[in-house]
Amino acid sequence: MTSTSLPTPALLPSLIGMPKDSLETQFTDIGLKGFRLNQLWHWMYHRGVREFSEMKNLPKNIVEHLSQNYSLHRPNIKLSQVSKDGTQKWLISYDDNQEAEVVHIPEVNRGTLCISSQIGCTLTCKFCHTGTQKLVRNLTSSEIVGQVMMARDIFNEWPTPMGQRHVSNVVFMGMGEPLYNYDQVSQAIQILTDQNGICLSKRKITLSTSGVVPMIERCGKELGVHLAISLHAVRDNLRDELVPLNKKYPIAELLNACRNYPILSNSKRITFEYVMLKGVNDSDADAKELVRLIKGIPSKINLIPFNPWPGSIYECSSPERIHQFAEIIYKAGYVSPVRAPRGRDILAACGQLKSESQRISKLKQKTLDSQG
Ligand code: SAH
Ligand code: SF4
């Protein structure tokens, strides 16, 4: 584990995350438009430079103006941890010292970066660590894109490689509900997928939602990314308890929105995430009902062994139970991979993320409680 505790310097606003048309509006006056703007974009997102002075083909007056008023800074890394299995987790902080977590999961031939869309979450899913942390605020597009750029800095992945990459896939499965921060997430996705920059394919970006039904259609039409739905239960009374948003958007409405998801075809399936909770949602009857519910939706089911966190009330289903559950789904014709828990030893697995300061303040509170 390595830790850096340098104070956050007073920083100029970052240009990262600003859409191209806003850049154009902002900088037309100084001649930064057309091919000049493309040059700036190329330096920022293809070459990943961190200083305007490195942008050798831009006129001096433009470089000076940008250097005096803006920056290209990424989030600060406050703590970096590496799991036994190679998963890495970074605790990052932003200019207001708010913290988020970013996780990198290396696999053969690819690497997935799990990024956050909010600090904390307004939803309070009962099995999720992030859900115990109140929403502090939404992240901006700059702060979301910054997470990816920071990872690319760490892996030395500039200029954008043509072939294999450490950061080949991005999943919005960190802290927060991305569809409750739609505008900033959408702006960030446009930048991440821009062909002349970071150049991630939409197919390699997965947005995971707990089921914000009214935003699902828009997400498909405008963003066209891969959709993952945190289903976790097949009956409304249980889902109301596990994913309280279900009281607002029950299972039938959610699945209806999935049926109508615009990019849906056999080649682009929806992933249903299903956390395996011992004795809660893991019976054969649950598996059969799951198969019945998703009938007609091109889908794949991702079984996630529950990842415990301090204070959680659930246990993970046994490997045999998970296997049996998966078997029923598989026999019904669906792909049902069991997600291998990664980075559990550093609390980097799904649903274990939480700002470190919150963990510490909880710990302090406990100490005070026990003293009082
Ligand atoms: N808010 C979004 C995305 C972040 S959560 C969502 O809920 O979809 C990413 C995934 O991790 C979700 O499927 C979530 O339900 C799952 N998850 C949360 N806590 C978990 C835990 N303790 N163990 C396993 N998976 C968990
Ligand atoms: Fe929020 Fe997702 Fe956790 Fe639910 S599972 S509390 S929506 S981050």
Q: For ligand 1, which residues put their CB under 6 angstroms from it?
A: 125, 127-128, 173, 176-177, 208-210, 230, 273, 275, 304, 306-307, 350-351
Tokens of 64: 């000076």
Catalytic (active site) residue 350: yes
- Residues of the chain by 3-state class (helix, strand, coil), percent to 5: 40, 20, 40
- Does domain 13-69 match CATH 1.10.150.530? yes
Do the Cβ atoms of 303 and 339 come closer than 8 Å? yes
Give, for all 372 residues of the chain, the pLDDT tens digit. 444 444 444 579 999 999 999 999 999 999 899 999 999 999 999 999 999 999 999 999 999 999 999 999 999 999 999 999 899 999 999 999 999 999 999 998 999 999 999 998 999 999 998 777 777 899 999 999 999 999 999 999 999 998 889 999 999 999 999 999 999 999 999 999 999 999 999 999 999 999 999 999 999 999 989 999 999 999 999 999 999 999 999 999 999 999 999 876 555 899 999 999 999 999 999 999 999 999 999 999 999 999 888 889 999 999 999 999 999 999 999 887 787 777 777 776 666 666 655 554 444 444 333 332
Domain ranges of the chain: 13-69, 76-346
CA distance 202 to 171: 11
Do the Cβ atoms of 172 and 202 come closer than 8 Å? no
Is the link from the previous residue into 250 a cis peptide, with omega within 30 of 0?
no
Burial classification of residue 195, based on how many CB atoms lie within 10 Å of its CB (0-12 exposed, 13-18 middle, 19 or more buried): exposed
Enter the pTM of the model. Answer: 0.91
CA distance 100 to 77: 10
- What sign results for the dihedral spanned by CA atoms 112, 72, 121, 5? positive
- Out of 125, 138, 272, mutate this one to test ligand 2's pocket (max ligand atoms within 8 Å of CB): namely 125
Q: Point out the ligand 1 atom lying closest to the alpha carbon of residue 208.
A: 8
Per-residue b or e along 158-189, where b marks 16 or more CB atoms closer than 10 Å to that residue's CB: bebeeeebbbbbbbbbbbbbbbbbbebbbbbb
Pair type for strands 99-107 and 110-114: antiparallel
Catalytic (active site) residue 258: no
Tokens of 231: 């289903």
Q: What's the topology of domain 76-346?
A: TIM Barrel (3.20.20)
CA distance 320 to 344: 20
Do the Cβ atoms of 358 and 175 come closer than 8 Å? no
Per-residue b or e along 211-238, where b marks 16 or more CB atoms closer than 10 Å to that residue's CB: bbbebbeebbeebbbbbbbbbbbbeeeb
CA distance 207 to 185: 9
